[in-house]
Amino acid sequence: MLKSFALPGYLLVAMVAALSLGCGPSTPAMSSDWPTSTPEEQGIDSEALADLVERIDLENLPVDSLLMARNGSLVLDAYFYPYLGDRSHDVASVTKSITSTLVGIAVDEGLLEIDQLIVSLFPDIDASKHEIELRHLLSMTSGLACGYAPGEQELFEMIGSENFVEYALDLPVAVAPGMTFAYCSPGSHLLSAMVAQVTGMSTLEFARERLFGPLGIVESIWPTDPQGVPRGWGDLQLHPRDMAKIGQLFLDGGEWNSTQIVSAEWVAQATRTVVAGGVDGTGYGYQWWILPGAFDGIYEARGRGGQAISVWPENELVVVFTGRGVDVRGDITPLLFAALKSAGAIEPNPDGNARLDAAIAQALKPPAARLIPELPTTADLMSSKLYRLDDNPFDTRCVLLRFDSASDVAFELTTTSGTFEMRVGMDGVPRFSDDSPTGIPVGLVGEWTSPNVFLLLYDEVAGPNHLRIEVSVGEGADSIDLEFRDPGGYFPTTTVQGTVVLSCDPA
């Protein structure tokens, strides 16, 4: 349960960390090494950007941040409550593009070769895998039996194993390498292990020395597997502005402040289509996606739940998204790009700039608290009762809801890791905690949707996980059903039954 953000059990531990009473809006600290300008100075309509920021805020779209940089200057830097831009964000599978970039730096330094056989670093692998090259892992064409079925079954199995690298290397071969695209996160983890092996340092140490450090990225969190290898497929935490630095680095051919961090040759190679990555014509390079159609020429680092770095060289543009579990970029991106009016500066618009600034400030504010209705009789019947749950993939052993009053509600959960308690906002305003096993703040809002159904809304404030937890109370409150539903569809909907017990053995 404590092995990965992508594992449902680990996710639930994060959900039940003890909550503080709240975290109010604050102003994100500006990065001193990002020059800024008005949108109009870069040929962008500030009124159109204000329209978009206002819409995201008013409709409570699942967006945590939206950044736009053009010609190397930041023109939009917006954050949306409850994410205040005051800490790093879990970027999910955007991590893969960072891992790929570290591979590129290692290739530039002669530590790896693009056509290098992985058996040269993992000599004990089965002979059937002796033809797999580094480039096959980079382009998701390794031929391993991984990523062919919907969902990420192999990723979850790897996370549940004692040795992630051994699990990935033990995957059987499905097809010859280089033939077929299959989205295989365990293969990306092998890339991290390879970087660590040839550099003699952890992938994160190498990143801080060769990539993050030169870019001025000072805050980075990268969880590891049980052997200490950073997760090459996901869970890296970066600030959105630092995500934008990665995009700008690629836009400028691998150069930052007159220093060549990764070669222009690698940037070009990594962001060209190697294999078809989707039926819509989307291409896949070296852990980067290449867009077709109306957005031809754009390449992206993508992560589930709305995380992305988009680079559009033709328009000297970098856009960063972070999201709350549901990817709405398909609705937002056309409106964002519609704000582009010219390759050069357009007429200044002080009123538009002021409106955009006001919209950004408003987006940081919490929702207005609503009146709290009286508790139903069911709340009194179930309050402080401990429910033992049937076996489930979430590693959730017992739960307890305590209703001390209509406004004073707590949710307690026991896992094999221990017991965690958190407060619940009953006025429509979430209560937050920084003290979670993941280190990512979490918040909860609750309401009775019927006399026997209590709904909890969970938000991993700086991460992609957002869940609806519906508690249906049985007759006499002697039993409950818990339904866990992911609005983004990444985790399958799961219903677990619980019965009243006097004590909970987490084992």
pLDDT in tens, 139-155: 999 999 999 988 899 99
pLDDT band at residue 15 using 50, 70 and 90 as cut-offs: very low
What is the distance between the alpha carbons of residues 413 and 116, in angstroms, rounded to a whole number? 48
The rounded mean pLDDT for the chain is 90
Tens digits of per-residue pLDDT, 222-252? Answer: 999 999 999 999 999 999 999 999 999 999 9
**pLDDT given for residue 11 in this prediction:** 37
Tens digits of per-residue pLDDT, 90-116? Answer: 999 999 999 999 999 999 999 999 999
Of 1-5, 53-57, 288-292, 502-506, minimum mean pLDDT range: 1-5
Residue 109, Cβ neighbours under 10 Å: how many?
12
**pLDDT given for residue 435 in this prediction:** 66
Domain ranges of the chain: 8-24+370-501, 25-83+291-365, 89-240+252-267
**25-83+291-365 with 89-240+252-267: one CATH topology?**
no
**Any residues with CB less than 8 A from the CB of 199 and at least 6 apart, and which?**
106, 111, 206
Is pLDDT at 400 greater than 60 in this prediction?
yes
**Any residues with CB less than 8 A from the CB of 71 and at least 6 apart, and which?**
42, 316
Number of alpha carbons in the 13 Å side-chain half-sphere of residue 153: 8
pLDDT band at residue 507 using 50, 70 and 90 as cut-offs: low
What is the distance between the alpha carbons of residues 292 and 279, in angstroms, rounded to a whole number? 11
Class of domain 25-83+291-365: alpha beta
**pLDDT given for residue 434 in this prediction:** 74
**pLDDT given for residue 437 in this prediction:** 57
- Cβ distance 387 to 501 under 8 Å? yes
Give the CATH number of domain 8-24+370-501; options: 3.90.1170.50, 2.40.128.20, 2.40.10.220, 3.40.50.10310. Answer: 2.40.128.20
Could you tell me the CA-to-CA distances from 68 to 39, 144, 215, 229, 317 in Å, in that order? 9, 38, 18, 32, 7
What is the dotted CATH code of the domain comprising 89-240+252-267?
Answer: 3.40.710.10
Is pLDDT at 8 greater than 60 in this prediction?
no
Is pLDDT at 396 greater than 90 in this prediction?
no
What is the distance between the alpha carbons of residues 301 and 324, in angstroms, rounded to a whole number? 17
Tens digits of per-residue pLDDT, 351-375? Answer: 999 999 999 999 999 999 999 999 9
**pLDDT given for residue 20 in this prediction:** 29
* 44, β-bridge pairs: 340
Mark out the alpha helices in 345-473 (DSSP H runs): 350-363, 377-382
**pLDDT given for residue 419 in this prediction:** 83
**pLDDT given for residue 18 in this prediction:** 27
